[in-house]
Amino acid sequence: MTVDESGPHRSLVFAHRGASAAFAEHTRAAYLQALADGADGVECDLHLTRDQHLVLLHDANLDRTSDGTGPVAERTLRELRQLDFSSWKGARIPEAYGARSEQFLTLPELLELLRGAGRPVKLAIELKHPSPYQLKLEDRVLEVLRSEGWDPASSTVDNVAVTFMSFSPDSVRHLLQSVPAEYVCQLVDDLTIHEIRDGLGLGLITGGAVANLMKATQLEGEQIVEDGAVGLAGPGIDYVRENRATIQRWLQAGRRLRVWTVDSEDDVALCQELGIQEITTNMPARVLNQLSEASSPGR
């Protein structure tokens, strides 16, 4: 798919965990489809295995997206290779996208796919916390990227431009010691103490304590953006809807915004209206079509 980028206001489109509306998230098929759809970039979440491999998974546990169970951090890469990470989606995988046993990916394997795109591609890496390995996760990511030829000054690996994201302010500050601020994104969400406590189901006292900690982390992340410590801010679309004045202030201050997860036509239009530079979506082909149509002459 060829995408017209001539329009000055076309947001960059990142495929959220690959084209994850079409195929199981984080799988080879999802990323190959995202490239075929013409996505400007792809997003992935990283966890460390017991033997310190970087694997593409969102959850800290295996239950939702595989036929396994338990924490990712307690499994070796070899053990994870034995699991099925694609059948739960119920989508038939074309032969060209690999066998079921080839769907699970490590970070080096994703880089190999992106190198094969034949064009510049962006890679947004989210470092998942809390992690039992704490900031060793960040150190391992940078170590693996360096072994792949990553240039810190430009944050590129061959044709792949890499940025780093986390909700954890500690993670972001740690990354800033090795990565230029323009390539680091502080993720933010719109949380209330009441919503967090009720969602956790931990009881009034324990739930309240955890909720207070999570809210404090959110406020700390917002302050990192306000202070200009990072070049990228990553609010969720709910945050954008509820905090338009904040979003406009960040944009006017020169921040790049990468908004997640933008799937509906109304939300895409809102991002366009606000001048959001980057959109993360489960449906890159549809969002690219909407953006292309909106920028067509006569509209």
2 part of a folded domain: no
pTM attached to this predicted model = 0.93
Number of domains the chain contains: 1
Catalytically active residues, by annotation:
16, 58
77 part of a folded domain: yes
199 part of a folded domain: no
Please give the backbone phi and psi of residue 252, each rounded to the nearest 5 degrees, phi first. Answer: -65, -25
CATH number of the domain bearing residue 36: 3.20.20.190
Q: How far apart are CA 112 and CA 35, in angstroms?
A: 13
CB neighbours (10 Å) of residue 83? 16
48 part of a folded domain: yes
Joined tokens for residue 125 = 């890496």
Counting every residue written for the chain, the total comes to: 299
Q: How far apart are CA 110 and CA 145, in angstroms?
A: 12
225 part of a folded domain: no
227 part of a folded domain: no
66 part of a folded domain: yes
Q: How far apart are CA 192 and CA 212, in angstroms?
A: 9
Q: What is the pLDDT of residues 52-102, one digit of tens each?
A: 999 999 999 999 999 999 999 999 999 999 999 999 999 999 999 999 999
139 part of a folded domain: yes
Q: What is the pLDDT of residues 31-54, one digit of tens each?
A: 999 999 999 999 999 999 999 999
Q: What is the pLDDT of residues 271-285, one digit of tens each?
A: 999 999 999 999 999
Q: Which domain holds residue 117?
A: 23-165
Please report which helix (H) or strand (E) contains residue 166, including its range.
strand 160-166
Strands 184-188, 121-127: parallel, antiparallel or unpaired by DSSP? unpaired
Q: What is the pLDDT of residues 129-159, one digit of tens each?
A: 999 999 999 999 999 999 999 999 999 999 9
